[in-house]
Amino acid sequence: MNGAGKPTINDVAAAAGVSKKTVSRVINKSPLLSASTREKVEGVIRDLGFVPNLQARALALRRNFIIAAIHDNPNAQFLVNVQQGIQQGIAGSEFGLMVQPFDRSDPAFESEVRAFLERQRPFGVVLLPPISSDEAIVALCRETGTRYVRMGSIKMDEAAHVVSSNDREAVRDAVTHLIGKGHRRIALIEGPEGFTSPQERRAGFEEAMAQAGLAVDPALVRPGSYTFESGVAAAECLLALAAPPTAIFASNDEMAIGAMIACRRAGVRIPEDISIVGFDDTPLSSHVWPTLTTVHWPIVDMARTAAQKLMGSEDAAGELPWMFPSTLVERGSVVAPA
């Protein structure tokens, strides 16, 4: 023990009467060690309360033990779910989770990301949508030798680098569910333009309508931006139509709840007068009244797997699933039209 401070590998080696390399072998569970030596060293490690210094290991191994989640300030619940999933994935390992937000609208966006990767040199990064579909950032990861996994709604890379959900099919199922209940005038509140997941959700909507032989009325497709306010605004437009819809599919829960509020303000009852379906299955969706029928988005599972893909070998990562099914959760906001 070097006077004060934590014991180091040298202290352990001295106390156990072996070389530090041997202690290193014990730490790393090297197979070429006699059982007796291993036990002896393990005993000393326990007695001294030795914990290997990750910084030193990082330097020697030329890799650290940091998984970084890189995001563009998404919805709080989404971000927390991703963090929770990653934490589940790294639980029991030596890895730690670093979280780093960026502003994609900042002209320095790319150089900021580069600076982060070069400075912290995380072992791997989880790219949250919509950054996950930014090829420039992916190129940056490759260039800096950073392992990465992209979270998204379609497969946009090799399986080892992707975890995604089948939003399109899930939305198709959800809208088909509405059609099955007897709805014909079904509105869509879209997500922000230029991103993958809203596009997929829209495609699912259109596929369901087409499958049922229903035309998509352009008046019933309203833009949105995944925010509560945009849900309110979209629903207000829809309710003002001469022939308002009998059901609304909102591309996320937040907009769905915005739509619910707009309906309530307008005196339109849910679900009697209008059915509403959301997407995400945030806690909020079971907190509103009536509870929101929505599509469960398996973010936690996706994030957990993303972390596992980063920690394992490239081959192992390819073996892990990259597709996670989103499934409809029926609650109280959908009934047959009057």
Q: Which residues bind a second copy (CB under 8 A)?
A: 6, 51, 53-56, 58-59, 64, 66, 68, 73, 76-77, 79-81, 83-84, 87, 94, 96-101, 115, 118-121, 228-229, 257-258, 261, 264-265, 283, 287-289
| CA–CA dist 91, 82 (Å, integer) | 14
Q: Which is nearer to a second copy, 96 or 223 (CB)?
A: 96
Find the shortest distance in angstroms from Cβ 318 to DNA.
Answer: 23
Find the shortest distance in angstroms from Cβ 122 to a second copy.
Answer: 8
Angle between helices 228-240 and 253-265 (to 10 degrees): 50
Find the shortest distance in angstroms from Cβ 147 to DNA.
Answer: 17
> What does 99 bind: DNA, a second copy, none (CB cut-off 5 to 8 Å by kind)?
a second copy
Q: Which is nearer to DNA, 61 or 115 (CB)?
A: 61
List residues binding DNA (CB under 7 A): 2, 5-6, 8-10, 17-25, 27-28, 32-34, 36-37, 50, 52-53, 56-57, 59-62
User: What residues form DSSP beta bridges with 100?
Assistant: 70
> What does 64 bind: a second copy, DNA, none (CB cut-off 5 to 8 Å by kind)?
a second copy
The answer to whether the beta carbons of residues 133 and 157 sit under 8 Å apart is: no
Which phi and psi angles does 83 have, rounded to 5°? -60, -40
The 3-class secondary structure across 23-52, one letter per residue, is HHHHHCCCCCCCHHHHHHHHHHHHHHCCCC
Helices of type H across 194-292: 196-211, 228-240, 253-265
Q: Which is nearer to a second copy, 291 or 327 (CB)?
A: 291
| CA–CA dist 265, 236 (Å, integer) | 9
> What does 21 bind: a second copy, DNA, none (CB cut-off 5 to 8 Å by kind)?
DNA
